[in-house]
Amino acid sequence: MSAASSPYTSDGVANIPTGVDIIRLSKAGSQTLTFDQTVANLVFSYVSLNGNGYGFDQDFEILSYNDNVNTGNDCGFYGNPVHVPCGTSYKNVVTDPVTGAVEYQLLGTGEPHGTIRFLGAFDTLTWRSLSNENWNAFTVGAQGTAAEVVTDNDGDGVIDVEDNCPINSNPGQEDVDGDGFGDACDLVDDTDTDSDGVADHSDNCPAIANADQADADGDGIGNVCDDTDGDGYDDLVDNCPNHANPDQADDDQDGIGNVCDALTDIDGDLVADAVDNCIATPNANQLNSDGDALGNACDDDDDNDGVGDSADNCSLVPNADQLDTDGDSAGNACDSDDDGDGIDDARETESCRLIDNSLDLDGDLLCGSADNCPDDGRSNDDPDGDGLCGGNDFCPTDPTNTDDDLDGICGAEDACPADPNNDEDLDGVCGDADNCPVDGNADQADFDADGQGDTCDSDAGGDGVGDDSDSCLLTPVGEVASGDGCSIAQTCACDADWKNHGQYERCVVHTSKAMQREGLITKRERKQLVKDAARSSCGKSGKSDKSGKSDKSGKSDKSGKSDKSGKKGKSKKSGK
């Protein structure tokens, strides 16, 4: 075989091995190769792998193997001519489920030659023969010591001897499962689907939790997911796990399939004798009213009340006293009409269940002493306990029978006990206290304090001028108003838009004169008003009247009269 086409040479090995470098392996068992220094990029070239295989304690990659069809490289077994087909080479990773140790296996088909390179750096390498085949051989070579090798094959910035994935770029060196192999190249999947603490690749039932990995038949499939009898039902749910029964028939419904059920059924009720509460009496329903060891079908006292069923007037309901009020042979405990009056107990009150309802003269379903009004047919004869029954009690819920306003509402229930109309205007003030009983006015405002609320008072200002004609509803108390309801201070408001002080004075002079003619003020009072107006600063630019006589509660227009817009905010005037 030529060096140029040799399948066990590669760019990673500078020297082509000679015959003396070959290590012959014949039923080698386990071997350890030791170096006096840590080496890196150790290369094994193997010859005639055949059906044998080897398990190494160090990870490796396959650089090449023979392919006489595509490359023309030789193949065959050690010391013999070419053997066709050459076959293939591949790697298998196995993890010991007990110790967690990882073994990297070199396997092949046919008669392959090839080359592998171990990853990382180490000073010992141990391998074992997987089948002890007679003829195999390794040629060993190393690129150099670990200190000499600084190769970064995957270009991730981490040299191969320190890289947990030397041939797969992973600059972050992520290793989720912490097994020393980076996530980018970790061939061992540590997924644990059933969360039983055993990784799926080693779990004999990866989808069903079985931490003990029990495998009774040793077939590699755990008991919890194994179908020992091959009938399509896993042992865990198979009613006959060791006897094939795809129909899962179980006539006696005892959880054990017919094909493996050895239990007998004397009475043929499809209930096995071991669980039948009446072994010799058919009773498929297993009814047992008193909960003892015997079913009703074979129990002579089904209700366990001490009275045998043959003499018990309620054989399924305990009634040791055997009370039977109406003497119909059905004890009260199981009789729906204890008094035999034709009315079911469920429809009767407690007082009538044991008394013939013919004694309920008023038909209110209250009997005997329970009916304190036996002649009144109301079901609740005297609810307030005042001794007055039904229609005779005009206040059935008020024992004091108080209804002073005779409105039919009694005692505490009457929100307006002195108002028969019960707050007719619904303003929250009862009619007897409401200053506008038919017009809602919750605030009870009464500007002129005449006892009649503003809402219903035709002269709310109390100035003798009806609200419909009153131009100044807010005339201050103590001020004299003219026939239109306005005082001088409102007609001639100091803060009005006067052209000058003289215009203001003329307004006071004319208005006071009119009031004097009407007899509303005296001549002396008029003179004083005119004098006060002359002394004031009203109408003078930038000045205001310090006398304070202007009505600030509502601005008047240029005519001096306020806007008659409504009754809200009225000032109290002098008494009528």
> Who wins on pLDDT, 83 or 538?
538
Based on its alpha-carbon atoms, the radius of gyration of the chain, rounded to whole angstroms, reads: 58
Q: Is the peptide bond before 81 cis (omega within 30 degrees of 0)?
A: no
Residue 132 lies in a domain: yes
Q: Which residues contact 247 (CB under 8 A, 6 or more apart)?
A: none
pLDDT for residue 7 is more than 60: no
Residue 109: count of CB within 10 angstroms of its CB: 14
- Which among 68, 18, 12 is positioned nearest to 40, based on CA atoms? 12
Poorest-confidence range of 27-41, 114-128, 232-246? 27-41
**Any idea how long the chain is?**
576
Mean pLDDT across the chain, nearest whole number?
Answer: 76
Residue 154 falls inside a structural domain? no
Instruction: Tell me what percent of the residues of the chain surpass a pLDDT of 90.
Output: 12
- Which residues, 6+ apart, have CB-to-CB distance to 549 below 8 Å? 489, 494, 532, 536
Residue 67, pLDDT score: 58
Whether pLDDT at 21 is above 60: no
Q: Picking from 6-20, 161-175, 332-346, 556-570, which range would have the lowest pLDDT averaged per residue?
A: 556-570
Nearest by Cα to 77 from 2, 5, 26: 26
Residue 203 placed within a domain? no
The larger pLDDT score, comparing residue 375 to residue 184, is at 184
DSSP 150-196: ---TT-SSS-TTT-SSTTS--TT---TT-SSS-TTT-------TT-S
The Cα–Cα gap between 202 and 548 comes to: 105
**Residue 83: inside a domain, yes or no?**
yes
**Across 393-422, average pLDDT:** 73
pLDDT score recorded for residue 538: 92
Asked if the model's pLDDT at residue 27 lies above 90, the reply is no
Burial class (CB in 10 A: 0-12, 13-18, 19+), 11: exposed
The better pLDDT of the pair 486, 268 is held by: 486
Q: Give the separation between CA 576 and CA 572, rounded to whole angstroms.
A: 11
pLDDT band at 60 (very low <50, low <70, confident <90, very high): very high
pLDDT at 136: 64
Lowest mean pLDDT among 171-185, 484-498, 553-567: 553-567
pLDDT of res. 544: 47
Helix 523-535 with 501-517: angle, nearest 10 deg: 170
Domain for residue 167, yes or no?
no
What pLDDT score does 572 carry? 37
Q: Is residue 127, in this structure, part of any structural domain at all?
A: yes
What is the pLDDT, as a whole number, of residue 267? Answer: 80
Beta bridge partners of 219: none
Q: What share of the chain is helix, strand, coil (3-state, %, to 5)?
A: 10, 15, 75
Determine, yes or no, domain membership for 23: yes
Q: Which residues contact 526 (CB under 8 A, 6 or more apart)?
A: 512, 513, 515, 516
Residue with tokens 């310090």: 546
pLDDT at 168 over 80: yes
Task: Please answer whether residues 241 and 230 qualify as being in contact, where contact means their C-beta atoms are separated by less than 8 angstroms.
Answer: no
Q: Does the pLDDT value for residue 69 go beyond 50?
A: yes
pLDDT of residue 312: 87
Average pLDDT of the residues in 113-127: 88
Return the closest-CA partner of residue 211 out of 226, 225, 224, 198: 198
The yes-or-no verdict on residue 233 having pLDDT over 70 is yes
Please tell me the total count of domains within the chain. Answer: 1
Does residue 474 surpass a pLDDT of 90? no
Residue 205 Cα distances to 217, 246, 433, angstroms: 14, 22, 90
363-386 per-position pLDDT tens digit = 666 676 666 676 665 555 667 666
Higher pLDDT, 466 or 508: 508
Distances from the Cα of 103 to the Cα of 24, 58, 95, 122, angstroms: 22, 8, 6, 16
Whether the CB-CB separation of 167 and 182 falls below 8 Å is answered with no
Q: What pLDDT score was predicted for residue 282?
A: 92
How many of the other CB atoms lie within 10 Å of CB of 31? 14
| Structure confidence at residue 385 (pLDDT) | 66
pLDDT band at 549 (very low <50, low <70, confident <90, very high): very low
pLDDT digit string, tens, across residues 500-540: 999 999 999 999 898 889 888 899 989 999 999 889 999 88
Domain that holds residue 91: 19-145
pLDDT of residue 203: 85
Average pLDDT over residues 86-92: 82
Whether residue 4 is predicted with pLDDT greater than 60 in this model: the reply is no
Is the residue at 451 inside a domain? no
**Which of 20, 91, 68, 61 has the alpha carbon at shortest distance from 76?**
68
Which amino acid is it at 137? A
Mean pLDDT lowest among 50-64, 216-230, 441-455 = 441-455
Q: Compute the distance between CA of residue 267 and CA of residue 271 in angstroms, rounded to an integer.
A: 8
Q: What is the pLDDT of residue 132?
A: 67
Q: Give pTM, 2 decimals.
A: 0.28
Q: Distance (Å, rounded) from C-alpha 394 to C-alpha 385?
A: 13
* Residue 104 clears pLDDT 60, i.e. is over it: yes
Least confident segment among 220-224, 253-257, 350-354, 477-481: 350-354
- Whether the per-residue pLDDT at 358 is higher than 50: the answer is yes
- Using one digit for the tens of pLDDT, what is the confidence trace for 322-349? 988 888 888 888 888 877 777 777 777 7
pLDDT above 70 covers what percent of the chain? 72
**Listed ranges 111-120, 160-169, 207-216, 386-395; the one with the highest mean pLDDT:** 207-216
Lowest mean pLDDT among 41-45, 156-160, 224-228, 547-551: 547-551
pLDDT given at position 377? 57
| Residues 418-450 pLDDT 10s | 777 777 788 878 877 787 888 888 888 877 778
- Which of the two residues, 150 and 65, has the higher pLDDT score? 65
